[in-house]
Structure 1
């Protein structure tokens, strides 16, 4: 009887390890295959990336001078715009002083232009009694900017 019990319990401990290992081996093989595919894809990406890096670097080096020249021209144009804006402000200030002195109403340019012909003398806007100070209007030239940076 003892021998029978040991045989029964021994049957519990007998494992078919090869059957269990086959599925594990299949999973491992599938994983290795996927990792190899991923490695090849990563390798291709690295090659393409290095090709792109070299071509972009070559383009940057090739066009560096043109980009520098273009940026200098942009800076020059910005300076010209600032100077022109200042000149326009100076002229507008002088025009406003002249309009006040001559009594020009600036509501509608066409009607203010034709007002002396359409209205009688008594309807005209009265002129200012103050004489505007005659200032020499100095307008800064922008041509120097283009000659220096061409």
Structure 2
């Protein structure tokens, strides 16, 4: 029995020695937790504000800017058609010029011309303005 009493005293002493290790300062941890929660709430509010601003800007874009862009695009349709037609015309002129050069070269070789017609015509279409001016001066 005395052995049991001594064990109980030893257990009580050991519990008293270890008790401070299990004490938690709840106020410091609560303050830190409150600070973290406050920071998280601020970030969530900022995110919500950003979403709302994006939503309103998107609405502005859809309601105002997109119709303006579409209207401007519609007004440029004639210009786009003209550009397309010019591209076709330039392609046709280039094709015709190539055919003409071949025909002139063939005619020159058959007639034995000393100065080629293509060497006179070619600079008008494929040379810079400076070279063209030099050619016209001569």
Q: With the length of structure 2 as denominator, give the TM-score of the two structures.
A: 0.61
The C-alpha deviation readout for 1:59-110, integer Å capped at 9, x for no partner, is: 2331243232222222211221122122212321221122112322348x69
**Structure 1 gap ranges (5+):** 111-150
Among candidates 52, 57, 64, match of residue 55 of structure 1: 64
Among candidates 29, 46, 60, match of residue 55 of structure 2: 46
How well do the aligned residues superpose, as a CA RMSD in angstroms?
Answer: 2.8
Among candidates 88, 91, 97, match of residue 88 of structure 1: 97
Q: Identify if the C-alpha distance between structure 1 residues 98 and 24 changes in structure 2 by more than 3 Å, giving closer, same or farther.
A: same
Q: What's the CA shift for 1:26? A: 1.0
The alignment covers a number of residue pairs equal to 109
Inter-partner Cα distance in structure 2 for 1:76 and 1:13: 88
Q: Which has the higher contact order (CA 8 A, sep 6+)?
A: 1
Task: Pick the structure with more helix per residue.
Answer: 2
Inter-partner Cα distance in structure 2 for 1:59 and 1:106: 59
Q: What's the CA shift for 1:58? A: 0.9
Q: Indicate yes or no: 2:88 matched with 1:79.
A: yes
Inter-partner Cα distance in structure 2 for 1:13 and 1:25: 22
Q: What's the CA shift for 1:36? A: 1.0
Q: What's the CA shift for 1:46? A: 2.6
Which residue does 1:26 correspond to in 2?
A: 35
Inter-partner Cα distance in structure 1 for 2:100 and 2:22: 106
**Structure 2 gap ranges (5+):** 1-7, 121-138
Q: With the length of structure 1 as denominator, give the TM-score of the two structures.
A: 0.57
Inter-partner Cα distance in structure 2 for 1:87 and 1:11: 102
